[in-house]
């Protein structure tokens, strides 16, 4: 019986111990779930709340719920204390829009104009050194397609090869008011391989050109883009569409004419490849001194100057191997009638006369955009009389830009120290 009583006592002891343990756990849980004043529950992590992300993001444009937003809009934002910033733009169906971050890390531009009358949501995510992301969103709706649109066109076509002096020429079908030119120019980009410094220059309210600081490097590849689709251009007009052009630069062929020697020196990539006798404009009709480029090439044409010069001085003549240099009518061309004077006497009406054989050779070896400099004549080339972009100093050319010139800016987007664009697909 003693042994049996002992067996009955032990279970009672274990039950008391178990009950005491459960009571202690219950008290501990109650303490952990109650603040020091016995009030509202706190965190399970020793009472500390989860800290907010260190970084922050805000979107300033387009504003949330904005209507009638131009289809050219970009996303302007601020990211504070961010180690990494990404931008995503999607339409109402969830389809992502491709785009890139600006070099300053404060804006993001879609790769093309947005669709008209469409809802989009922009999301900016900023991640700090704590690894915790903070996001900002803005849902907006683009404007309906406008009735008043401006067409943007390029003189050059895709994959065209041109000379090292060729300016990039973009034209607008309507004048762009001065107050809007900086906005237009911000949407114009040039990428060259290798990278080269250059700037846009407004020739007129309907035309803008781009040239590098020095002649294009031989055999460069150049791409230029105008993101004008949906862009406000003043007086209720908007850009009709974006424009993109890829071109190639040929060898560095440069022609130099010296009136003193009556010779043209032709160099290719720095080496003299031909010296050609010439006859320039006589004293009553002198050739222009300055730097021009070949504007167009005409294998055969007719010069008719009766309207310009009158019945006494005017003439109508068939011409071979003509290469236009000015709008005023100065050409390089073959002139078999002056071959006896070429190299010694000026007898032309302002053109650069060469022999038939040399005219043929030049025509086969030159391209539109090849530069020619004429020296020592009685008349100075007037800026605007042809593509006279290289007849201006760099400082003069910079003054034609609607944006301040930044010599430290990357010459090509490939050189820009920008955050890696986030894929939006």
Query: 10-residue block means of pLDDT along the chain (425 residues)?
Result: 36 40 38 40 52 92 97 96 95 95 90 96 96 96 97 97 98 98 96 97 98 98 97 97 97 98 98 98 96 98 76 80 97 97 96 98 98 98 97 97 82 38 27
- Name which of 136, 219, 232 is nearest 177 in CA terms: 232
Burial of 120 (0-12, 13-18, 19+ CB in 10 A): buried
Whether residues 292 and 281 share a domain: the answer is yes
**Is 59:136 a contact under the CB 8 Å cutoff?**
yes
Residues 271 and 353 in one domain: yes
Concerning whether 351 is annotated as a catalytic residue, the answer is yes
One domain, residues 274 and 357: yes
Question: What is residue 306's predicted lDDT score, i.e. its pLDDT?
Answer: 62
Same domain, 73 and 164: no
Residue 409: the pLDDT is 62
What CATH number does the domain containing 238 carry? 2.60.40.3710
Encode 389-422: b = buried (16+ Cβ within 10 Å), e = exposed.
bbbbeeeebbeebbeeeeeeeebbeeeeeebeeb
The three-state secondary structure class of 281 is: strand
Q: Clarify whether residues 261 and 246 are in a common domain.
A: no
| Residue 261: CATH number of its domain | 2.40.440.10
Same domain, 349 and 331: yes
Residues 198 and 278 in one domain: no
Number of structural domains (the chain) is 3
What's the pTM value of the predicted model, to 2 decimals? 0.80
Structural domain contains residue 124: yes
Shared domain check, 241 and 270: no
The closest alpha carbon to 334, from 357, 368, 305, belongs to: 357
Active site residue 33: no
Domain that holds residue 220: 149-250+401-411
Distances (CA, A) of 151 to 3, 230, 296: 109, 11, 24
Question: Which one of the listed residues 33, 201, 333, 349 is annotated catalytic?
Answer: 333
Of the residues 33, 201, 349, 351, which is catalytic?
351
406 and 324 together in one domain: no
């Amino acid at each position: 019986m003693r042994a049996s009583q002992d067996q009955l006592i032990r279970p009672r002891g274990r039950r008391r111990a178990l009950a005491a343990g459960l009571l202690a756990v219950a008290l501990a849980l109650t303490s952990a779930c109650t603040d020091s004043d016995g009030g509202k529950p706190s965190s399970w992590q020793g009472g500390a709340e989860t800290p907010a992300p260190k970084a922050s993001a805000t979107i300033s444009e387009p504003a949330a719920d904005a209507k009638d937003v131009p289809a050219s809009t970009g996303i302007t934002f601020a990211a504070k204390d961010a180690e990494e910033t990404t931008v995503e733009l999607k339409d109402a169906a969830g389809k992502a829009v491709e785009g890139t971050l600006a070099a300053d890390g404060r804006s993001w531009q879609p790769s093309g104009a947005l669709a008209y009358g469409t809802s989009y949501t922009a999301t900016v995510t900023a991640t700090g050194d704590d690894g915790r992301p903070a996001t900002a969103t803005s849902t907006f709706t683009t404007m309906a397609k406008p009735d008043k649109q401006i067409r943007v066109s390029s003189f050059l076509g895709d994959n065209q090869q041109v000379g090292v002096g060729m300016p990039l020429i973009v034209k607008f079908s309507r004048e762009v008011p001065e107050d809007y030119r900086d906005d237009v120019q911000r949407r114009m980009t040039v990428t060259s391989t290798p990278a080269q410094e250059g700037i846009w220059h407004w020739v007129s309210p309907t035309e803008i050109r781009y040239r590098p600081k020095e002649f294009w490097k031989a055999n460069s590849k150049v791409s230029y883009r105008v993101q004008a689709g949906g862009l406000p251009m003043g007086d209720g007009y908007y850009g009709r569409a974006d424009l993109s052009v890829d071109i190639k630069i040929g060898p560095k062929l440069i022609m130099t004419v010296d009136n003193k020697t009556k010779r043209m020196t032709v160099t290719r990539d720095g080496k003299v490849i031909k010296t050609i006798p010439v006859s320039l404009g006589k004293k009553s009709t002198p050739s222009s001194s300055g730097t021009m480029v070949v504007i167009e090439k005409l294998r055969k044409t007719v010069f008719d100057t009766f309207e310009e010069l009158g019945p006494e001085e005017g003439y109508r003549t068939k011409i071979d191997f003509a290469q236009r240099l000015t709008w005023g009518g100065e050409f390089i061309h073959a002139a078999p009638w002056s071959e006896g004077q070429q190299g010694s006497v000026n007898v032309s009406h302002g053109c650069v006369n060469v022999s038939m054989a040399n005219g043929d050779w030049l025509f086969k070896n030159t391209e539109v955009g090849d530069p020619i400099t004429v020296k020592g004549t009685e008349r100075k080339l007037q800026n605007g009389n042809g593509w006279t972009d290289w007849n201006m100093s760099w400082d003069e050319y910079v003054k034609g830009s609607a944006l301040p010139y930044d010599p430290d800016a990357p010459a090509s987007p490939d050189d820009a120290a920008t955050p890696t664009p986030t894929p939006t697909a």
